[in-house]
A and B are shown apart, each in its own frame.
Chain A
Amino acid sequence: MIIKSLDPRIDRAALDDESKVGELSGNEHFQTYEVFQQVKRGTHHQHVGNVHAPNAEMAMLFAKEQYCRRGAAVNLWVVKTADVFVTEYQDADIFETTEDKLYRDPNSYKVMDRINAFKARNNNA
């Protein structure tokens, strides 16, 4: 049956309510691009999400509409998801010793005790 709608545009389209057209066949969508946005000069680009697009130019267009509709942005990157190399969460132990390496931490260098002791020794001498 042809659909009767309150919307004149839909009425004009004379749509059949039983029609099955419009189904997508397998692999009928685009590849994905990861989107990185810089909100202000001098700050890092940050990952904000992804878009489906047939090429980088279209990805840029979609990314602008999707992620920069509001608020500030000065720069945008898109990168093919397939080109991003990632670590696995289950391998998170590769980062484990990082926090233990205190010799890389400025706060681990405490010299005042020695300096004070040295001064005390010299004053007494």
Chain B
Amino acid sequence: MYGNAYIENDGNKVNSILADEDPIKLAEFEARIAAGDKIEPKDWMPKEYRKQLVRMIEQHAHSEIIGSLPEGTWITRAPGFRRKLALMAKVQDEVGHAQLLYSAAETLGKSREDMTNDLINGKSKYSNVFNYPAPTWADSAVIAWLIDAGAIVNQLANSKGSYGPYCRALDRICAEESFHLKYGHDNVVFLATGTPVQRAMVQEALNRWWEPIMHFFGPPDKASQHSEILMRWKVKMGSNDSMRQTFLNMYVPKIWDLGLTLPDPNLRKNEETGQWEYTEPDWDTFKQVINGNGPCNKERLAVRRMAEENGRWVRKALMNKSEEYVTPLA
């Protein structure tokens, strides 16, 4: 699962971004993408294309790793053996997705240890939603259903992008995410159609998660030359708002169907425009959380550091000094 990529949107730099690129190679590169061809690791690519892709794929990989933490918390306490097994399988999938994505990012020249260090040091971002706690079982159900649903909206769009290794990783990931979605939906339906206590529990979880879910797709996009270039290069496959609309259109009716409510009195579909109307979530809160001040940022990174530190002696014992690291092929 995955949130929005936080692409820096600096319109002033646009001219300098392309200034030192070879115009002939740039034209060939853009023609290839326009024709629907994929770019492969050793192909020529503009520096900005490489930089934004590394940032995006790396954030995605970190999100998979960190995203498995709030859910992993619930494995030992999941109600019933089957749900424990299913949740374990889901968490294993998420960690596997991170492996696929790190490999894709490595093909662009950033080593895996650099990515891990940037995560541990707080230099790299990951999806904002994972900085919130999952206080009840219903929270883990809402995460598995709706956060994964949001992730699928993002990932399906990105799998049509221009960078071959990323697209291939996403094809695999999307196939596995559909189990997560079904599993999460099953859990939410079970609670929503259960006793009054179960219904109240899932309603409260939904209330807690609504703002993070609205944040998930990122702030409304400002039109800029920079994002126009990234769209043309098929790095960015849709605006944050269009992804949010797709999500609302698919899932709000399903939530309402269960007799559950969402904590936004203005949420409705405008039948004339076909667009959903809603109250803008608090984007200052979003910035605060991204910059390290969310309820769980410190815990997430501390747990990640512990894993790295506790695993070090195993890695060292297995390390073969005579072997040299080679960038993965594809």
Q: Give the interface of A toward B (CB within 8 A).
A: 3, 5-7, 9-10, 13, 15-17, 19-32, 34, 47, 49-52, 54-55, 58, 65-66, 69-70, 80-82, 84, 86, 88-90
CB of B323 closer than 8 Å to a CB of A = yes
Residues of A within 8 A of B99 (CB): 51-52, 66
Does the CB pair A6–B113 fall under 8 Å?
no
Q: Which of B40, B309, B329 contacts A81 (CB 8 A)?
A: B329
Does the CB pair A6–B134 fall under 8 Å?
yes
Q: How far is the CA of A34 from the CA of B315 in the complex (A)?
A: 20
Does the CB pair B112–A15 fall under 8 Å?
no
Does the CB pair B318–A23 fall under 8 Å?
no
Interface string of B254-267 (1 = CB under 8 A from A): 00000000000000
Residues of B within 8 A of A21 (CB): 305, 309
Residues of A within 8 A of B325 (CB): 27, 29-32
Q: How far is the CA of A21 from the CA of B42 in the complex (A)?
A: 35
Q: Which of A24, A50, A82 contacts B308 (CB 8 A)?
A: A24
Does the CB pair B40–A89 fall under 8 Å?
yes
Q: How far is the CA of A55 from the CA of B315 in the complex (A)?
A: 12
CB of B93 closer than 8 Å to a CB of A = yes
Q: How far is the CA of A75 from the CA of B113 in the complex (A)?
A: 31
CB of B18 closer than 8 Å to a CB of A = no
Look across to chain B and name the residue whose beta carbon is closest to the beta carbon of A25: B113
CB of B17 closer than 8 Å to a CB of A = no
8 CB contacts below 8 A, A to B, read A9-B73, A13-B306, A15-B303, A20-B305, A22-B309, A23-B117, A24-B308, A86-B329
Residues of A within 8 A of B305 (CB): 15, 19-22
Look across to chain A and name the residue whose beta carbon is closest to the beta carbon of B175: A70
Query: Shortest beta-carbon distance, A4 to chain B, in Å?
Result: 9
Residues of A within 8 A of B250 (CB): none
Known: A10-B303, A15-B303. A3 touches B298 (CB 8 A): yes
Does the CB pair B113–A26 fall under 8 Å?
yes
Q: How far is the CA of A84 from the CA of B327 in the complex (A)?
A: 12
Q: Which of B76, B103, B304, B326 contacts A49 (CB 8 A)?
A: B103
Look across to chain A and name the residue whose beta carbon is closest to the beta carbon of B76: A9
Q: Which of A31, A69, A82 contacts B93 (CB 8 A)?
A: A69
Known: A5-B299, A6-B133, A69-B93. A22 touches B306 (CB 8 A): yes
Residues of A within 8 A of B324 (CB): 31, 82
CB of B176 closer than 8 Å to a CB of A = yes
Known: A3-B299, A5-B299, A52-B112. A58 touches B329 (CB 8 A): no
